[in-house]
């Protein structure tokens, strides 16, 4: 199975629109990229799940999902020709009707984990703007997670990546801009990236048991790096402890990385501490 992010979905939708309108402009590179992705997935007989990507932007979700379902039925050879610049788009007859039409009753944008991750991203953004060292920022995030929130692996991975001295690609960008609407948009985008990474990682932990393997399709290098940090296989002898230490040493160096991993693991071991906010009576109803 292939899990698409919104950029890849839009790449394919832009390409599919060439079959439904009078498209005279040169085909953009992103549409050819979408063609290359679909050519690979179709040739490998990989099923595609665009559900999360559609939920990210509910405004035109029904239209985009309908168009994507049509594109998913197109012949792989057409995608190959488009990707290799031997064709400039679809003919009107290239896209068949969708086998299953999306329901207009679907509640778009209602995805588990989204709001929880948004709160964590807001905290990371606040720390990013604070006059603290990188090390102090991530220590503060650990303390906040333990005392006032819950452990979210994707949020911890984001904090390690965001504050780490060796991070070249960061998911959370533009939070210091004077345009606060733009900053909030950056926070929403980062929260969604964490949600996508979380859902992919959760599917990955069940893939051997369910005999269904998941591929994350994205052009976002920071998202792919974060998602990779969430994935470890117990079937291959990997442990959560090993995965955390590997992530922190890669982003923070051996010395600081080991100290941070040890501190986080100590807090996680004490997760059932009754003094934690999330362990207080009635927490689930708040």
Q: What string of DSSP letters covers 217-286?
A: E-S-HHHHHHHHHH---GGGT--HHHHHHHHHHHHH-HHHHHHHHHHHHHHHHTTT-TTSGGGSTTGGG-
Structure confidence at residue 106 (pLDDT)? 64
Residue 42 pLDDT greater than 90, yes or no: yes
213-216 — which CB contacts under 8 Å span 24+ positions? 213/1, 214/1, 214/2, 214/3, 215/1, 215/2, 215/3, 215/46, 216/3, 216/5
Average pLDDT across the chain, whole number: 86
Residue 273 pLDDT greater than 60, yes or no: yes
Q: Are 140 and 127 in contact (CB under 8 A)?
A: yes
Residue 182 pLDDT greater than 90, yes or no: no
Average pLDDT over every residue of 187-206: 87
As given in the structure block, the two tokens for residue 141 are: 């995030």
The residues, any chain, with a CB within 8 Å of residue 214's CB and separated by 6 or more, are: 1, 2, 3, 200, 203, 204, 207
77-81 — which CB contacts under 8 Å span 24+ positions? 79/35, 79/36, 79/38, 79/39, 79/42, 80/35, 80/39, 80/43
Structure confidence at residue 59 (pLDDT)? 75
Q: pLDDT for 128-143, tens place per residue?
A: 999 999 999 999 999 9
pLDDT class for 237, splitting at 50, 70, 90? low
pLDDT class for 168, splitting at 50, 70, 90? low
Structure confidence at residue 261 (pLDDT)? 94
Q: pLDDT for 69-108, tens place per residue?
A: 999 999 999 999 999 999 989 988 998 887 777 666 666 5
Q: Are 5 and 226 in contact (CB under 8 A)?
A: no
Average pLDDT over every residue of 165-186: 81
Q: pTM for this one?
A: 0.82
Q: How far apart are CA 1 and CA 49, in angstroms?
A: 7
Residue 109 pLDDT greater than 70, yes or no: no
pLDDT class for 175, splitting at 50, 70, 90? confident
Percent of the chain with pLDDT over 90: 42
């Amino acid at each position: 199975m292939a899990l698409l992010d919104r950029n890849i979905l839009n790449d394919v939708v832009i390409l599919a629109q060439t079959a439904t309108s009078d498209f005279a402009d040169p085909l953009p590179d992103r549409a050819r990229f979408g063609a290359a992705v679909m050519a690979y997935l179709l040739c490998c007989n990989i099923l595609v799940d665009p559900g999360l990507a559609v939920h990210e932007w509910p405004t035109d979700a029904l239209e985009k999902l309908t168009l994507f379902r049509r594109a998913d039925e197109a012949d792989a050879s057409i995608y190959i020709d488009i990707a290799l610049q031997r064709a400039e788009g679809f003919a009107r007859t290239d896209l068949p009707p969708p086998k299953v039409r999306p329901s207009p009753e679907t509640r778009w944008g209602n995805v588990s984990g989204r709001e929880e991750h948004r709160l964590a991203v807001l905290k990371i953004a606040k720390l990013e703007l604070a006059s603290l060292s990188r090390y102090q920022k991530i220590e503060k995030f650990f303390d906040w997670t333990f005392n006032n929130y819950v452990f979210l692996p994707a949020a911890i991975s984001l904090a390690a990546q965001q504050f780490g001295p060796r991070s070249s690609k960061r998911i959370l960008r533009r939070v210091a801009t004077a345009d606060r609407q733009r900053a909030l948009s950056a926070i929403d985008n980062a929260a969604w990236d964490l949600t996508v990474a979380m859902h992919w990682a959760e599917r990955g932990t069940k893939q051997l048991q369910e005999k269904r393997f998941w591929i994350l399709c994205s052009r976002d290098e920071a998202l792919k790096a974060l998602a990779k940090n969430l994935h470890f296989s117990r079937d291959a002898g990997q442990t959560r402890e090993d995965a955390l230490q590997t992530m922190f040493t890669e982003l923070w160096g051996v010395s600081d990385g080991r100290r941070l991993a040890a501190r986080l693991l100590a807090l996680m071991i004490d997760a059932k501490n009754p003094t934690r906010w999330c362990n207080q009576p009635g927490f689930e109803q708040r």
